[in-house]
Amino acid sequence: METIKDIFRIGYGASSSHTMGPRKAVEEFLTGHRGASQIEVTLYGSLAATGRGHMTDVAIMEEARRQGRAVKSSGSLRPNYPAIPMP
């Protein structure tokens, strides 16, 4: 039986929906594309409008780093970011 902690995760940043979803998307993409040494990320909509403030870029970069991949940004991600461990 799943507990509420198994279903919901606490992310970092001002809005978990702006960190957990993009982090999970990067995780699943990289798992399915193990041969990719680098990915290019472009954020749209509310993620593009508030991504930096809500730490979307950090979540994406951290997941890529965790899997040993590089991220090429279209300008919506900051190149230098602090390493923040996931809770």
Q: Which residue shows structure tokens 């730490």?
A: 55
The answer to whether 16 touches 7, Cβ cutoff 8 Å, is no
Asked whether 57 and 74 are in contact (CB, 8 A), the reply is no
Residues 8-48 have pLDDT tens digits of 666 666 667 778 888 889 999 999 998 888 888 888 888 88
This prediction has a pTM of: 0.68
Q: What is the pLDDT of residues 44-62, one digit of tens each?
A: 888 888 767 778 888 888 8
Q: How far is CA 5 from the centre of its chain?
A: 20
